[in-house]
């Protein structure tokens, strides 16, 4: 049956992948609520913009009357809350915006959802019973896995690599220990969502996912930055010694997992989502260099091996050494597994950036924002 999904942050990297997936591969309607910060880009939604099942609302999740109006007008069955400030380096330079959007904004959205759901219980009990509030969060709330300790057998999944058999992974019961203002603000929002479920009975679900990569990724993040710098012959800045380990997931695999959780997950539960792809940052950069060397056009002005551009720079303060997810619960209970390996996903990503220069050129020169602001004025 066709449902209405209210997606916050649908013009961002992961949110736009969820919106594209819902419009392309389901019958559901999508209402996208986005403030269009620097990270929001409506050009990532060009392929769904004309769909009669897609509506865009330009609004801030901290604006309570606007959120109430969005619920009243569109009567959603499912909320998927992705709007956030999401870049760790920016949270170190200016934490206030992170607390405002990620913590205050989430509380405003929870209150709007609760008011709507309580009214729905009176007017349409069946619809209220099916209502879901899905909060999208990060594995960074669990902090740093740095120290390697033996892993218990029940934390291993059929997809665990031999390497992870000897190392700990984040499970849904790992205690929270966030390190950066970003991860602390996300941890705060997760606690609020759990409290609204426990105290008010709001039917919530939470997912905590590892690092995403893929098409339409804003070029301040590691993978797109390295692809674009390698293509342009610019230095490839690697923090510290590049030995920080992250667990990478292709963004469309994450979008499919999120839709599964929102529609089939158990109320009150948390699901970890990860790609079983633990790589050091240096390994990621070296793999990108090899792909760029192989795939860049012969006409490209820079033709030296891209790895000659790798430059080690001073590490980020408080930089966590290792994150790694045990995704066994979502695999066992909801039957989700990633379709892409790191190798196939990264190849698709480099190919996408090569084929979509107009998208990223407009991000780099700022024109994606200029036109948008013009349209709003
Ligand atoms: N990118 C990752 O690797 C990753 C991994 C795990 C979890 N997450 C989480 O997934 C969510 C989406 O991440 P992303 O990488 O797509 O982020 P993003 O920064 O690319 O997009 C965030 C979107 O939220 C919008 N937004 C920001 N503040 C807003 C506000 N106050 N009101 C309305 N809209 C606002 C922005 O305009 C943008 O469209 C975040 O909650 C993030 O914490 C991200």
- pLDDT tens for 270-329 read 999 999 899 999 999 999 999 999 999 888 777 789 999 999 999 888 888 898 899 999
Ligand 1 touching residue 180 (CB < 6 A): no
Lowest model confidence (mean pLDDT) among 10-19, 208-217, 290-299, 353-362: 290-299
Q: Are β-strands 278-280 and 245-250 bridged in parallel, bridged antiparallel, or unpaired?
A: antiparallel
Whole-angstrom distance, CA of residue 95 vs CA of residue 147: 28
Ligand 1 centroid distance, CA of 103 (Å): 13
Higher pLDDT, 374 or 244: 244
Q: What is the reported pLDDT for 363? A: 96
Ligand 1 touching residue 325 (CB < 6 A): no
Q: What is the reported pLDDT for 147? A: 54
Taking CA atoms, 171 is separated from 72, 121, 208, 226, 325, in Å, by 37, 34, 10, 30, 7
**Does 355 score more than 70 pLDDT?**
yes
Q: What is the reported pLDDT for 156? A: 43
Over residues 80-120, the pLDDT tens digits come to 999 999 999 899 999 999 999 999 999 999 999 999 999 99
- The length of the chain is 377
**pLDDT band at 370; cut points 50, 70, 90:** low
Angle at 79 between CA 76 and CA 80, to 5 degrees: 145
Q: What is the reported pLDDT for 125? A: 98
Whole-angstrom distance, CA of residue 38 vs CA of residue 70: 22
Q: Average pLDDT, whole number, for the chain?
A: 92
Query: Which among 76, 95, 65, 107 has a CA at the least distance from the CA of 10?
Result: 76
Work out the average pLDDT over 198-213. 98
Ligand 1 touching residue 37 (CB < 6 A): yes
Q: What is the reported pLDDT for 303? A: 77
Q: What is the reported pLDDT for 323? A: 87
**Which of 12, 96, 170, 189 to probe ligand 1 with, by most ligand atoms within 8 A of CB?**
12
Query: Which among 58, 44, 47 has a CA at the least distance from the CA of 24?
Result: 47
Q: Is 182 a catalytic residue?
A: yes
Residue-range domains of the chain with CATH? 4-217+248-276+322-341 (3.40.50.720)
Structure tokens at 51: 């769909």
Nearest ligand 1 atom to alpha carbon 140: 6
**What angle separates helix 181-200 from helix 106-123, to the nearest 10 degrees?**
20
| Residues above pLDDT 70, as percent of the chain | 92
Taking CA atoms, 156 is separated from 65, 175, 276, 286, 326, in Å, by 46, 18, 11, 28, 7
Ligand 1 centroid distance, CA of 74 (Å): 22
Q: Are 199 and 107 in contact (CB under 8 A)?
A: no
Ligand 1 touching residue 275 (CB < 6 A): no
**Does 67 score more than 60 pLDDT?**
yes
Q: Are 187 and 195 in contact (CB under 8 A)?
A: no
Nearest ligand 1 atom to alpha carbon 218: 20
pTM confidence score: 0.93
**pLDDT band at 152; cut points 50, 70, 90:** very low
Ligand 1 touching residue 189 (CB < 6 A): no
Ligand 1 centroid distance, CA of 144 (Å): 21
Over residues 153-203, the pLDDT tens digits come to 344 444 444 444 456 899 999 999 999 999 999 999 999 999 999 999 999
Q: Are 45 and 21 in contact (CB under 8 A)?
A: no
Phi-psi region of 242 (alpha: psi -120 to 50; beta: other; left: phi over 0): left
Higher pLDDT, 330 or 375: 330
Ligand 1 touching residue 136 (CB < 6 A): yes
Nearest CA to ligand 1 atom 44: 138
Ligand 1 touching residue 36 (CB < 6 A): yes
Q: What is the reported pLDDT for 319? A: 84
Ligand 1 centroid distance, CA of 121 (Å): 30
User: 199-202: which pairs have CB atoms within 8 A and are 24 or more residues apart?
Assistant: 200/114, 202/110, 202/113, 202/114, 202/117, 202/133
Q: What is the reported pLDDT for 298? A: 84
Q: What is the reported pLDDT for 160? A: 44
**pLDDT band at 146; cut points 50, 70, 90:** confident
């Amino acid at each position: 049956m066709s449902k209405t999904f209210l997606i916050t942050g649908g013009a961002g990297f992961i949110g736009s992948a969820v919106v594209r997936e819902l419009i392309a591969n389901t019958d559901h309607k999508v209402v996208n609520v986005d403030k269009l910060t620097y990270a929001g880009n409506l050009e990532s939604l060009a392929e769904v913009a004309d769909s009669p099942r897609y509506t865009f609302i330009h609004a801030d999740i901290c604006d309570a009357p606007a959120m109430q109006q969005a619920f009243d007008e569109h009567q959603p069955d499912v909320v998927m809350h992705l709007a956030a400030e999401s870049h760790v380096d920016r949270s170190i330079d200016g934490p206030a915006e992170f607390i405002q959007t990620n913590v205050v904004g989430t509380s405003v959205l929870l209150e709007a959802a609760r008011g709507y759901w309580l009214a729905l219980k009176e007017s349409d009990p069946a619809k209220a019973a099916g209502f879901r509030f899905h909060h999208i969060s990060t594995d960074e709330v669990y902090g740093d896995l740095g120290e390697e300790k033996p892993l218990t057998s029940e934390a291993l999944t059929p997809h665990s690599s031999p390497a992870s058999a000897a190392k700990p992974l984040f499970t849904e019961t790992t205690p929270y220990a966030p390190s950066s203002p970003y991860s602390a603000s996300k941890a705060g929002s997760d606690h609020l969502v759990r409290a609204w479920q426990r105290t008010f009975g709001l039917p919530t679900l939470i997912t905590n996912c590892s690092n995403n990569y893929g098409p339409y990724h804003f070029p301040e993040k590691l993978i797109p930055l390295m692809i674009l710098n390698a293509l342009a012959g610019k230095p490839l800045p690697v923090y510290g010694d590049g030995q920080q380990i992250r667990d990478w997931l292709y963004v469309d695999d994450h979008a499919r997992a999120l839709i599964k959780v929102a529609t089939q997950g158990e109320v009150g539960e948390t699901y970890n989502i990860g790609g079983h792809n633990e790589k050091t940052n240096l390994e990621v950069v070296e793999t990108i260099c090899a792909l760029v060397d192989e795939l860049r056009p012969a006409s490209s002005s820079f033709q030296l091996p891209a790895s000659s551009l790798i430059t080690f720079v001073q590490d980020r303060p408080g930089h966590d050494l290792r994150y790694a997810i045990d995704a066994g619960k979502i695999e066992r209970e909801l039957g989700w597994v990633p379709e892409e390996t790191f190798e196939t996903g990264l190849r698709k990503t480099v190919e996408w950036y090569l084929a979509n220069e107009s998208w990223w050129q407009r991000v780099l020169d700022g024109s994606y924002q200029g036109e948008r602001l013009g349209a709003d004025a």
